[in-house]
Amino acid sequence: MLHRAFSVFVFDAEGSLLLQQRARRKYHSGGLWTNTCCGHPRPGETTVVAARRRLREEMGIACTLEEAGSFLYRAEVGGGLVEHELDHVLVGYSRDEPVPDPLEVAGWRRVQIPEVYREVTRVPARFTAWFTRAFEIALRAPAVIGRAGGAS
């Protein structure tokens, strides 16, 4: 069933993206690398409010988020599960050190944008099904282009 989702991308002033490795015990895509955090709004909750909530819950950080765009996707994610989502992409900036929830996050790292491109191109199976499309949208956000050295 088509449902709403969001993907958050948090950059720092040096242009690095905060990547998250999903906890291995997640119900799908466990152990894969992805954007800073993601999730689904609760009934009646706006996308931005839900994204800020999940960013605090998953990564232990808070920052202002801006909507960058959205896309539809449908992908088999293993175990007979299919994700069919309208994914809203949000971007923000923070230098805060993450304090991740170990039930949600196996690891994290900050990566420069060109290195993210290299990794996704060389080994796409290490990333979640939605990551590449959401990443492209995040890089087109005016704030990212002007501040973090996004796509040119």
Which tens digits make up the pLDDT trace of 17-56? Answer: 999 999 988 766 678 999 999 999 999 999 999 999 999 9
pLDDT higher than threshold 50 for residue 150: no
pLDDT higher than threshold 70 for residue 149: no
Number of domains in the chain: 1
Query: Is residue 59 in some structural domain?
Result: yes
Give me the active site residues, please.
38, 85
pTM, full prediction: 0.89
| Of 80 and 106, more confident | 106
Residues ≥6 apart with Cβ < 8 Å to 70: 86, 87, 88, 89, 137
Query: Is residue 138 in some structural domain?
Result: yes
Q: 77: domain range? A: 3-147
